Structure 1
Amino acid sequence: MANRSYLYSADGLPTEQSNPKPIRCVSEHNWSIPLAHKILVGRGTAVVPSMIWNPRIGIAGDYDAGAELLTDLLRVVGQGLPDGDFAECVARTTAHLDKQRAKYFLLETGEMISLGDEDPEEAVRGLVEYDIPAEVARAEAAIAGDDDAWLASVRTGWQDHFASFYSDWLYFSFPED
């Protein structure tokens, strides 16, 4: 079984006592937390209780602002790529984001951070305080035309950054009861 990061959307945030309802499945990605997931939770980013695991290792972000940032980044990445697979990936991604729209993105990274030796809560704080803001800053610079080298590296490995599995059902899905 592959370790994955999972991305959901909801109109509320999880609490220590309960998960919001409904929780919509957005995406899962094998063996990493991809750039797209980091960008999508990159606005209004906060540590929240996990909806899957016990430690406080969930990450929330503003849905509309994160989706707008990713859309802008995909636009500039696509300007340097031939039509074809990337355009199909973008169309699939944006259609699913439109369909699963809510107030928040909720990122579950427990399977990925468990691969390291760091305390899970410390690892998530590091993502929220350093890694995610750094990726957002690089994306903003690239969109503004100020980081061509980073943009070129993203284009080269676009599948690793953007070609996640987008679906209404993920390995961890939540019933609507």
Structure 2
Amino acid sequence: MANRSYLYSADSLPSVEDIPKPVRCISEHNWSIPLAHKLLVGRETAIVPSMIWNPRIGIAADFAGGASLLGDLLRVVGQGLTDRDFAACVDKTTAHLDKQRGKFFLLETGEIISLGGNDPEQDVRDLVAHDIPAAVAQAEAALAGENDEWLASVRADWQDHFGSFYNEWLYFSFPVDQA
């Protein structure tokens, strides 16, 4: 079994007592937290209680801002690619984000951060304080035409950055009748 990062959307934030209702499945990605997930949680990022694990290791962010940032980057990445698979990936991603729209993105990283053997809460604080803002800064620089080398590396490895599994059901899903 692969360790994965999981991305959801909801109209409210999880609390210690309860999870939002409904929780919509966005995507899961094997063995890492991909660039797409980092960008999608890159606006108004906050640490929240996990909906899956006990430690406070959930990450929440503004849905509209993150979706806009990813969409803008996908357009710029696509300007340097003629790969039909990339175009299909973009179409599937954007259609799924539109269908599963919520007020917030909720990123669950417990399986990924557990691979490091460190304090999971500290690892999530590091993601929110460093890794996610660094990814957003790289993307924003590329959008401004100031990060050609990074953009070329993203194009060369686009499957790892954007080729996540997008579906209404993920390994960890929540009941659809919870509304």
TM more than 0.5: yes
Could you say which residue in structure 1 is the equivalent of 2:127?
Answer: 127
Q: Summarize deviations over 1:93-147 as a string: whole Å, max 9, x none.
A: 0000000000000000000000002100000000000000000000000011000
Distance 2:89 2:52 in 1: 28
AA paired with 1:96? H
Aligned length: 177
Distance 1:157 1:126 in 2: 24
Distance 2:48 2:153 in 1: 31
Q: Summarize deviations over 1:4-62 as a string: whole Å, max 9, x none.
A: 00000000000000000000000000000000000000000000000000000000010
Could you say which residue in structure 2 is the equivalent of 1:50?
Answer: 50
Task: Establish whether residue 165 from structure 1 lines up as the match of residue 168 from structure 2.
Answer: no
Could you say which residue in structure 2 is the equivalent of 1:20?
Answer: 20
Q: Summarize deviations over 1:63-91 as a string: whole Å, max 9, x none.
A: 00000000000000000001401000000
AA paired with 1:115? L
Compute the RMSD of aligned alpha carbons.
Answer: 0.5
Q: Secondary structure at the match of 2:13?
A: coil
In structure 1, stretches of 5+ residues that fail to align are: none
Could you say which residue in structure 1 is the equivalent of 2:38?
Answer: 38
Runs of 4+ in 1 over 4 A off after TM superposition: none
Task: Establish whether residue 156 from structure 1 lines up as the match of residue 156 from structure 2.
Answer: yes
Query: TM-score normalised to the size of structure 1?
Result: 0.99
Could you say which residue in structure 1 is the equivalent of 2:90?
Answer: 90
Query: TM-score normalised to the size of structure 2?
Result: 0.98
Q: Secondary structure at the match of 2:112?
A: helix
